[in-house]
Amino acid sequence: MSYKRVVLLASLSFGYLLNASAAGWDEKYFNPVPDASDVVLPMPCDGSMVFRKVFIPVTGPLDDYPINIGQDSPDWGYVEQKRPAFIAGSFTGAKNDKSRYYLMAKYEMSQLQYQALTAETCPTPSNKLRLPQVAVSWVQAIDAGDTYNLWLRKNAADKLPKEDGALGFLRLPTETEWEFAARGGLEVGAAEFSDTRYPMPDGLNAYEWFGGAQSSNGKLQLSGLQKPNPLGLHDMLGNADEMMFEPFRLNKLDRQHGQAGGYVVRGGNYLTPQADLRTALRKEEPYYNADGQVKNKTTGLRLVLVSPTLTSRERVGSIEKSWKKLGTGAQQGDASQDKGTVQELNNLASAVEDKALKEKLQALENQLRASNQQQEETRDQAIRASLNLGAFLCTKMLDDGRYLDFLQKNYALNCESEDKDPSCDMRKGKLDEQKDRLHKLSRYYASSLVESASLYGQPLLEPQVPVMEEIISQNKQLQELKPYLRTHWANQKTYLQKQKIDTDAWLSSCKSVTQ
């Protein structure tokens, strides 16, 4: 038998082992806590890996969402200082969806999954192999992701999500992707998002493994034993540290330092003290030491599924159009920006023949556009906060308005007849108090409508309504605000069109909201 034939038979045999297993995997080995919204991808050896969608309330290819990551600390500021960041989703959902998303593995990669990607023979599924895969180098983690990507494209390309016709791919997460998901994403409110840890109603012990006899007891634990975070992700803090895609950088207050070092490890592990376990926890690991590639018994990995950015000529064209509008005041009907100044600088630069002067004018134009863009993004955040406040005030108007109706009805029944109830004076006092409370609330609500109209106007307000609606939709605790947001926006538009304050009509509309 020729050498080439031996190699061919060997490769075919290996390919069979990667693609088939006699028994297959029981769900308990790869998804011990199944959920209807899980996204499951096949793996070699008839295995599977489970992902969760992480939604971002933006739709355009150049849109992104501002967040703050890190945590202010006098001790670890140079590592964890809070700083602004921006995040965007990779994939577009249904046609009318108002957000994009990326996918993050629901669990840390298990030993079973890692062996299915790297071993010469398919592993036998067992409960023990549900332990997270640790003691692998960053390079080995990249190699495992590469093997998985190639296998999916060859054997299950139809299972991969697409964006603009381009297949998605797997990699380690960026720090921003990881921290946004670890904090709970859109499933938590702004205050909870900025907290040390995501909300844990049943206490830290019920959600994460950390150092000490009351938790991990110094041992790595099986994936999925604890409760998930608000996005349905397990073991985001503790158990195994998780590698990030990009290199480690120090912080300089509101930005990162210029030197890129080793790789970033996030989340803490089963030896991390309880007091130190936090979402902002990050450290540096070198790629190599004197013995070769660095491998730690506490460090594992979790994959994300994302898409390329420049997926087609049409997408590039759309991005170019959006980019040319950034900071010019030409977006969303913005008449408040001095777009004439930007255009004048552009015209001057085009007409100048002196190369040095032309470059200075172009640099000045870019600085002005960047400054305008920052102001626009800050303004849009303020608009969303205003819309959120209006929706909340509408709920209060409903509650206080219905309570006033209740008091009035009781007063009429008990105190507006010949047989007056002895408690009528007390009832009258409560009725008057509630009338005054509702009057003040109505005036405050009216002031918020007038202020928003005068500060922003409909061209700027309207594009933020679907963004705010999507933020509310993705947060289970806020979903009940959705009809109030719509009612508030209807009230806002009425004022914008008629310029007439009508507190009675606005109160009536809020009282009419049904869930």
Q: What's the Rg (C-alpha) of the chain?
A: 28
How would you write 100-140 as a 3-class SS string? EEEEEECCCCEHHHHHHHHCCCCCCCCCHHHCECCCCCHHH
pLDDT at residue 5, rounded to an integer = 37
484-to-27, 85, 309, 389, 497 alpha-carbon distances in Å: 41, 30, 36, 10, 20
pLDDT at residue 253, rounded to an integer = 80
Letter for the amino acid at 375?
Q
158-to-42, 103, 154 alpha-carbon distances in Å: 11, 16, 10
- Hey, what are 379's tokens? 């303004």
Task: Per-residue pLDDT tens, the chain, 515 aa: give them.
Answer: 443 333 333 443 444 344 444 457 999 999 999 999 999 999 999 999 999 999 999 878 888 999 999 998 888 889 998 999 999 999 998 877 889 999 999 999 999 999 999 999 999 999 999 999 999 999 999 999 999 999 999 999 999 999 999 999 999 999 999 999 999 999 999 899 999 999 999 999 999 999 999 999 999 999 999 999 999 999 999 999 999 999 999 998 878 899 999 999 999 999 999 999 999 999 999 999 999 999 999 999 999 999 999 999 998 999 998 888 888 866 555 544 456 677 777 777 777 777 888 788 778 878 888 888 888 889 999 999 999 999 999 999 999 999 999 999 988 888 887 777 788 888 889 999 999 999 999 999 999 999 999 999 999 999 999 999 999 988 888 889 999 999 999 999 999 999 999 999 999 999 999 86
Given a contact cutoff of 8 angstroms between Cβ atoms, the answer to whether 299 and 134 are in contact is yes
Number of neighbouring beta carbons within 10 Å of residue 127: 11
- What's the pTM value of the predicted model, to 2 decimals? 0.87
Beta bridge partners of 47: 43
Distance CA(341)–CA(74), nearest Å, equals 42
Q: Can you list the positions of beta strands (E) in 254-293?
A: 255-256, 263-266, 282-285, 288-289, 292-293
Contacts 24+ apart (CB under 8 A), 35-43: 35/232, 37/232, 38/106, 38/232, 39/103, 41/152, 41/156, 41/159, 41/160, 41/305, 42/152, 42/155, 42/156, 42/159, 43/113, 43/116, 43/117, 43/148, 43/151
- H-helix or E-strand containing 337? none
Distance CA(451)–CA(198), nearest Å, equals 34
**b/e per residue, 133-161, with b = 16+ CB within 10 A?**
bbebbbebbeebbebbbebbeeeeeeebb
Q: Can you list the positions of beta strands (E) in 272-337?
A: 282-285, 288-289, 292-293, 299-300, 304-306
Among positive and negative, which fits the CA dihedral 494, 490, 58, 451?
Answer: positive
Longest dimension (CA), the chain: 114
Helices then strands (H, E): number in the chain?
15, 18
Q: Can you list the positions of beta strands (E) in 276-402?
A: 282-285, 288-289, 292-293, 299-300, 304-306
Among positive and negative, which fits the CA dihedral 289, 261, 182, 147?
Answer: negative
pLDDT at residue 366, rounded to an integer = 80
pLDDT at residue 37, rounded to an integer = 95
Given a contact cutoff of 8 angstroms between Cβ atoms, the answer to whether 65 and 58 are in contact is yes
Q: Which of 23, 293, 243, 217 is nearest to 133 (CA)?
A: 243
Given a contact cutoff of 8 angstroms between Cβ atoms, the answer to whether 43 and 148 are in contact is yes
pLDDT at residue 10, rounded to an integer = 42
Backbone dihedral region of 105: left (phi > 0), alpha (psi from -120 to 50 degrees) or beta?
beta
Q: Spell out the domains of the chain, with CATH numbers in brackets.
A: 36-306 (3.90.1580.10), 376-511 (no CATH)
pLDDT at residue 435, rounded to an integer = 93
pLDDT at residue 339, rounded to an integer = 60
Given a contact cutoff of 8 angstroms between Cβ atoms, the answer to whether 27 and 35 are in contact is no
